[in-house]
Copies of this chain bind each other. A is one copy, B any other.
Amino acid sequence: MTTDLTRLVETTRPRFRTATEFVEATLRAAILDGVLAAGAPLRQEELAAAFGVSRMPVREALRQLEATALVEFHPHRGAVVAEISAEDAADISAIRAAIEPQALRLSLPHLEKADFDRAAELIAEMDAEKDFGRMGELNRRLHMTLYARAGRPRLLTLVEQHLAAADRYLRFQFTALGYHPQSQDEHYALLGACRAGELEQACQLLTEHVLYAETRLTAFLRERETTAQD
């Protein structure tokens, strides 16, 4: 683990103004990308060494990640990467199903042709992409492109966080089952409705898109959880 992190460290370090910012962003990416597995203990000393800083920025970063449920603190026992479960996946999906249509509703009236074209590009890129990590990134950017003009920073931050959280789960599913192609059909349909300015239909499609993803994902996770008990 240490070496995996060290590589990221040198490349991204100079972009941040404080060590805490740097550690926080890098740790978040590492957790979301699956570099740090669920349940893995996050020893402060170890991380500090990997990042080339002292324990303090690590502690502050961990605190911030705790607030977004990416790590769990156990007093005097340290922090661990948040576990994943079918229950939690359903939880995240319920949130996405609530806030993403809201974001789209507020954004769609202000979207312009350039935005739709950008979205179409991203979908096309996803068709060609093989790497699951890049795939998740593209998926997030596609969704965020459609919501970007909502003009509601808090809402968009929430959406981004939960897209990323969902992505953490999807990576799991993809590596086991491969990418689910139906999802791309849904993207095309969604973009079509958006381009046509069909607000209600677009929201409907989006809700179903999130719901389908949840159904596929939780089915996979539940099976995985039951077979794991053998």
Contact = CB atoms under 8 A, between A and B. Distances in A.
A24 B206 CA distance: 37
Interface in A169-221: none
Copies of this protein, total: 2
Given A17-B75, A60-B59, A60-B63, A158 B106 contact: no
Contacts of A158: 95, 158
A68 interface: yes
A120 interface: no
Nearest to A17: B75
A64 interface: yes
Contact of A155 (B56, B95, B102): B95
A46 interface: no
Contacts of A65: 67
A94 to B, nearest CB: 5
Interface residues of A, number: 34
B152 A75 contact: no
A63 B18 CA distance: 13
Select the residue from A21, A66, A158 with max chain B CB neighbours within 10 A: A158
Interface string A1-43: 0000000000000000110110000000000000000000000
6 contacts: A56-B56, A63-B64, A64-B66, A67-B68, A92-B154, A95-B158
**Closest 9 A-B residue pairs measured CB to CB?**
A67-B67, A98-B102, A91-B154, A63-B63, A98-B98, A91-B152, A64-B67, A60-B63, A98-B99
Interface of A: 17-18, 20-21, 56, 59-61, 63-69, 75, 88, 90-92, 94-95, 97-99, 101-102, 106, 152-155, 157-158
